[in-house]
Structure 1
């Protein structure tokens, strides 16, 4: 067979090279990360390897596509509207801010249509913007652990309007991560109270422990709470908080160095369960 085409694509953050015939039918794909050529039809082995020769460096494994795991099958049957994996860091805040901006714009234009071609007056900064910055900062730091066998879900909705800022799943276990904006500010931790600058203390640690308990109930697995501070100038802890890990955004990669307690298959199964919106409906 001649005239095979090699088409590069990206799937779930990984590069794949698909080998297609002249009619566009896929004959195989090469996964650079795993160094494996997956043959759909063994009869085309030589032609496929010849087409990929210029793209392959080093030894490769050649064989039929792997059988999907139960976690992969669960993901494939999950309705897109129920899949939380595509959520961006701060997804809930982004949606709320965009919705409120559109509503305010519609209200302004209804009162003064001529303003449609002018800039709207600058409003007082929305405090949710700082919260969004914190969630994006922490979320980006957690997403960088992806290559080390970790998965992060953002803005996991809970009944009653609550949500988990970030759910981290990996070899060292499961973590509920709450992002707190503290850019160039002093933070005082006096369990269960958290004080940022001169703001009133808030019982964030009590709330965070409760959220971790709800996640443990939903996933039938231990989930540990983490308070992640985005850019604090100073951190003071009067006493070690009970069961809560306090970290700065620059230190979150330390979670990847914790001892492994979950096998890769367990990580994938828990991730498949956690990304399903229906998992969180009764906690």
Structure 2
């Protein structure tokens, strides 16, 4: 017996089986999806395959770990404080509400909480695209106190998504104006396009603007918006059907650049 142990773990949403010594040192890992056993030392090849025997589901490639791509190297060198990938949907609002929850006796709901609900609803829908080769980043800070609610990067391109809480309300769009219920009309689409333009400048790539409506009762567009996609939160998963724009390596490279806080400091 080699004394090696097999320990399952999840990494970036995918299961890996790590083969370890009794003291916890890794010897190899098995990537089921890639059907590959990555060896840290050829000396343990036979012992590793014996330990993994009950878990192998078919032919596998065996060899040293693949050389990291430039995108992976950039991610590994990124300081945790500068990495935007862990941001939750509505991260900035969550922090603001934690610092100042506001008075408990408010007669009307705090608008920040409605905005947070919208960002969380939209963010959760975008996060579900991860398995289709997409990456979603949330609450990207911009100079001047602005932020991009969500940035989505995948085979279909890049999208800067601005969210709007519209639960059970009618939404009227007449570019650039958006009217929510009985409220005063606002030129919101200018902001949506401006966010995408700033993202395009930062990433030196075309970024498409999207306005995502959370829970509207009705949507009517009288003047077709220039460049901007208007989507309800239930329609966002349709982005996964878009493709043919970016290769997987390009997606990873752009994601590595976008998750770095320093990328956004001069836009």
Give the C-alpha shift of residue 8 in structure 1.
1.6
Instruction: Tell me which residue corresponds to 1:252.
Output: 236
Query: CA-atom RMSD, angstroms?
Result: 1.3
Deviation string, structure 1 residues 217-245 (Cα, Å, up to 9, x no partner): 00000000000111111000002100000
CA distance in 1, matches of 2:266, 2:194: 15
CA distance in 2, matches of 1:129, 1:140: 16
Task: Please state if 1:11 is matched with 2:31.
Answer: no
The answer as to whether partners of 2:157 and 2:243 remain within 8 angstroms in 1 is no
Give the C-alpha shift of residue 12 in structure 1.
2.0
Pairs within 5 Å for 1:202-221: 202-221=186-205
Instruction: Tell me which residue corresponds to 1:163.
Output: 147
Which of these residues, 241, 265, 269, is aligned with residue 249 of structure 2? 265
Give the C-alpha shift of residue 178 in structure 1.
0.6
Instruction: Tell me which residue corresponds to 1:113.
Output: none
Task: Please state if 1:274 is matched with 2:228.
Answer: no
CA distance in 1, matches of 2:63, 2:163: 44
Instruction: Tell me which residue corresponds to 2:85.
Output: 85
Deviation string, structure 1 residues 214-273 (Cα, Å, up to 9, x no partner): 110000000000001111110000021000000111111111112321111111110000
Give the C-alpha shift of residue 55 in structure 1.
1.9
Task: Please state if 1:53 is matched with 2:53.
Answer: yes
Q: Secondary structure at the match of 2:28?
A: strand
Instruction: Tell me which residue corresponds to 2:2.
Output: 2
Instruction: Tell me which residue corresponds to 1:73.
Output: 73
Give the C-alpha shift of residue 56 in structure 1.
2.2
CA distance in 2, matches of 1:22, 1:211: 52
Task: Please state if 1:29 is matched with 2:29.
Answer: yes
TM-score, normalising length: structure 1 = 0.91
CA distance in 1, matches of 2:7, 2:157: 37
Paired residues, number: 266
Which of these residues, 177, 180, 185, is aligned with residue 164 of structure 2? 180
CA distance in 2, matches of 1:254, 1:11: 26
Q: Unpaired segments of 5 or more residues in structure 1?
A: 106-120
Q: Secondary structure at the match of 1:180?
A: strand
Q: Secondary structure at the match of 2:100?
A: helix
Instruction: Please identify, of 187-196 and 55-64, the stretch whose mean Cα deviation from structure 2 is larger.
Output: 55-64
Q: Over alpha carbons, which structure has the higher Rg?
A: 1
Give the C-alpha shift of residue 122 in structure 1.
4.7
TM-score, normalising length: structure 2 = 0.96
Instruction: Tell me which residue corresponds to 1:64.
Output: 64
Instruction: Please identify, of 14-23 and 85-94, the stretch whose mean Cα deviation from structure 2 is larger.
Output: 14-23
Q: Unpaired segments of 5 or more residues in structure 2?
A: none
Give the C-alpha shift of residue 44 in structure 1.
1.2
CA distance in 2, matches of 1:164, 1:56: 43
